[in-house]
Amino acid sequence: MRSICIDVEKRRASAEAFIPADHPLFADHFPGSPLLPGSLMLELAAQLSGPLAEEFAKTQVGIERWAILGMVRDARFLQPVFLPAHLELSAEIARADSFAIKTNVMVAVNGDRVMQAQLVMMMIETSAEWAQAIEARNNRLARWKDAS
């Protein structure tokens, strides 16, 4: 992820990501014609939906919660993404309550939609043993926000 922008009032977030072709993760996917796996597009969408859900829960619902991906609904991969690729991601809150926030997500390349889905982010209470993980996530999110 290169940058992230969250607008809690509009219930939306956007992000940009760059996926290189020469990363070892893509060595077998596919040699000579590297292709971004759909599971990684969903993960990037969750990396956007999670912070949006957490900020929304904190500022609009008044609860501090940790968002984890609970369910993927109606995921559609509309065209292949060959690497390297610059991705534009967007997420919008479709429904929210204290235990789950549903987001509609979209991934585009050069303005063309390549994936869409609904993600259900489960909102769970944190505990003291998660402090280090939460701090690392907050630092990463701050770097992404500073890049926008």
What are the catalytic residues? 29
Query: Could you give the CA distance from residue 146 to residue 148 in angstroms, rounded to a whole number?
Result: 6
Tell me if the bond preceding 84 is cis, omega within 30° of 0: yes
Q: Which two tokens stand for residue 134?
A: 């939460």
